[in-house]
Amino acid sequence: MPGYPFLARRELRTDDIAEHLKALRTVGVRYTEDDIANALADLRTQAGADDGDARAFGERYPKAPMGDFDGDPKRITELDALIAYLQVLGTMVDFTTFRPELSRR
């Protein structure tokens, strides 16, 4: 993957995170009212930006990685968001029910 150093310099816009989850829910993502209400707190907790309720975050998103991904715990950057997203992709497949022969169409 090529380097994207500018992502580490750009603050992640978080003021409308709940609205993003609402939009995703309209296209089928199963976000609950609780997920949406806690969106900003969960984002900050996941990125290690504060001492939020890690237990509640873990209950809502049991497989989601947590931590400061860009090396600067004082800021939440676009790089933090990208790394968290890429890390969670591999946890989204239920390999107990996945049948690879059906995915080759």
Residue 37 lies in a domain: yes
**Mean pLDDT in the chain?**
87
Residue 40 lies in a domain: yes
Domain count, the chain: 1
- Position 62 pLDDT exceeds 80: yes
Q: What is the average per-residue pLDDT within 18-30?
A: 95
pLDDT at res. 2: 77
pLDDT at res. 71: 86
- Position 39 pLDDT exceeds 80: yes
Residue 1 lies in a domain: no
pTM of the model: 0.76
Residue 96 lies in a domain: yes
The domain in which residue 93 lies consists of: 6-102
Question: For 90-99, what is each residue's pLDDT tens digit?
Answer: 777 777 887 7
Q: Which residues of 67-104 are buried (b: 16+ CB within 10 A; e: fewer)?
A: ebbbeeeebbbbbbbbbbeeeeeeeeeeeeeeeeeeee
pLDDT at res. 104: 65
